[in-house]
């Protein structure tokens, strides 16, 4: 499971960087297009406002993805929880967000992974007859 967690960490960092790149692209397109609009005074300002809001939203979505990916690489319990939340929220982002979200949930809900993040990876499993 350690390999799956490392892969997840890297994938979430890359996915977050793509979201940051999309945010930058929205800023560039919005502000660039506002320069060329030959309309009333309000249209370029409105387009800039839309670019700021949409770009900021994409950037704010990307930050937990990157932070969660970095935390997964360090096997932090908070990162597992954060990544599960981000995974659930990314399910509607077909196809990549859906695939990454499902894969993350499968890996991070695995009992072996839970023990790994709780620091009990080196502990032996309980005996077969115990009620633990």
pLDDT per residue, tens digit, the chain (132 aa), is 889 999 999 999 999 999 999 999 998 988 887 777 666 677 778 888 898 999 999 999 999 999 999 999 999 999 999 999 999 999 998 899 999 999 999 999 999 999 998 875 444 455 565 554
User: pTM of the predicted model, to two decimals?
Assistant: 0.80
Task: Provide the residue count of the chain.
Answer: 132
Between CA 14 and CA 66 the distance in angstroms is 8
Note whether 109 and 87 are within 8 A (CB).
no
Q: Domain locations in the chain?
A: 2-117
- DSSP letters along the chain, please? -HHHHHHHHHHHHHHHHHHHHHHHHHHHHHHHHHHH--S-THHHHHHHHHHHHHHHHHHHHHHHHHHHHHHHHTT-HHHHHHHHHHHHHHTTSTTHHHHHHHHHHHHHTSHHHHHHHTT-TTSPPPPTT---
Q: What is the C-alpha separation between 44 and 108, in angstroms, rounded?
A: 46
């Amino acid at each position: 499971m350690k390999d799956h967690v490392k892969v997840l960490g890297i994938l979430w960092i890359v996915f977050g960087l793509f979201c940051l790149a999309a945010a930058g692209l929205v800023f560039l397109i919005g502000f660039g297009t506002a320069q060329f609009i030959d309309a009333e005074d309000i249209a370029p300002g409105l387009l800039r406002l839309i670019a700021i809001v949409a770009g900021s939203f994409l950037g704010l979505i990307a930050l937990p993805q990157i932070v969660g990916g970095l935390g997964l690489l360090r096997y932090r319990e908070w990162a597992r929880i954060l990544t599960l939340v981000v995974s659930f929220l990314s399910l509607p982002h077909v196809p990549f967000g859906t695939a990454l979200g499902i894969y993350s949930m499968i890996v991070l809900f695995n009992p072996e992974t839970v023990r790994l993040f709780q620091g009990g990876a080196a502990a032996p499993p309980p005996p077969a007859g115990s009620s633990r």
